[in-house]
Structure 1
């Protein structure tokens, strides 16, 4: 792990688009950046484990982070796949003292690390930082509610179709997208077991969706929309 990195202009741009920092300026933004450290981690590196004392939360600057739970038999269940610009574990600013899930890098990843106690102290001093925290937590709550609704309302093929449609560069006709990560991560993101994802892709083949590696070809976007 390299924790002596400097914030690049690209990293700063990613941070400034997050709900947590987008509304800050002046002294508050300076104090937040002063509190932050940048760390670089290799693939499949554990960031923290469920039950460990929570001392920091994070923002993904590059790469992907997998958040998951384990049961007693060792079975894994993905909670969330965090992409660049996503923050995680900030709920513990006011929601307990221990991490509620495991966090592991899915590929080589760069993170911005924020000390929980220091940010909590800053929020008590700066009202705009407190508001930024509430904005971020509200976004997470709304996103979680949307995820639960989609899981209950949509079949596995529909979840896959919706993911593809949200990233299609055209509204009709043929299209092609490239997954930014392995299909196993897509399965976790959509709340599916890997074998369920494979079956969903197989069912979409009849309307012209084919998968080769990370590339997904769509024969007709409108047909996919009507599934």
Structure 2
């Protein structure tokens, strides 16, 4: 990790659009952002480990962060955080140790919020606590949706769902470019890399063509049928 540095105006503007600052007025948002600095991590850097005493929570400004549980011998992915996503903010309301580990999947820039300073704001700015609760509610609903998909959908259907919700349509056709490597997509969808490869191969019959990170969909309706 590089040293901490002051949030730029562009980074502050991005955080202003994040869910964790939603419905806050300017004064409340500025108070919350005064507790944050920007930090950089390189690929595979570990931000913190499960059960470690917590001093910060984070919001992703650029790059992707993997949340996981377990040891090196056996790990389970919890989530892949994208720009705008926050994690660890539950510790503002309860707990003093991280419930999972976090690892940078590429070069990332994060907003790092000081937990003690944010907790001190809640008495004076209770709506900050409400904003954090809304963020946690979204995390819960997203987790429930992921669990349902994992139990109800095949790997092929999970990939099809991701493509349909992230592609740019051009009539009957559509396309997208993955913002990350396919191995990270596999983690995001809860699949082994080989299972992702098999799913893409199976989707060829539905008009899906993959070339590196570029994906072309020849017939959106055929993919919906999957």
> Matched residue of 2:122: which SS?
helix
> Matched residue of 1:69: which SS?
strand
| Number of residue equivalences | 226
- For 1:169-205, what per-residue CA distance to the aligned partner results, in whole angstroms no more than 9, with x for missing partners? 1164222211000111111111111111111111111
Q: Is the 8 A contact 1:124 1:130 kept in 2?
A: no
Partner of 1:29: 29
Q: Is the 8 A contact 1:14 1:84 kept in 2?
A: no
Is 1:118 the counterpart of 2:106? The answer is no
> Matched residue of 2:59: which SS?
strand
Partner of 1:131: 130
Q: Is the 8 A contact 2:7 2:36 kept in 1?
A: no
1:93 Cα deviation after fit: 2.0
- 1-structure distance, mates of 2:113, 2:9: 18
- 1-structure distance, mates of 2:211, 2:200: 11
Please, which moves more after superposition, 83-92 or 25-34? 25-34
> Matched residue of 2:123: which SS?
helix
Is 1:97 the counterpart of 2:85? The answer is no
Partner of 1:201: 200
- 1-structure distance, mates of 2:122, 2:146: 29
- For 1:117-166, what per-residue CA distance to the aligned partner results, in whole angstroms no more than 9, with x for missing partners? 22122112212111111111111111111111121121111110010001
- 1-structure distance, mates of 2:29, 2:204: 49
Partner of 2:17: 17
Partner of 1:69: 69
In structure 2, list runs of 5 or more residues that go unmatched: none
Aligned CA RMSD, in angstroms, stands at 1.6
Is 1:188 the counterpart of 2:187? The answer is yes
> Matched residue of 1:210: which SS?
strand
TM-score, normalised to structure 2, is: 0.94
- 1-structure distance, mates of 2:11, 2:26: 19
- 1-structure distance, mates of 2:9, 2:207: 41
- For 1:52-93, what per-residue CA distance to the aligned partner results, in whole angstroms no more than 9, with x for missing partners? 11111000001111111224x712221111010000111122
- 2-structure distance, mates of 1:9, 1:225: 41
TM-score, normalised to structure 1, is: 0.93
Is 1:176 the counterpart of 2:175? The answer is yes
Q: Is the 8 A contact 2:63 2:83 kept in 1?
A: yes
- 1-structure distance, mates of 2:181, 2:13: 26
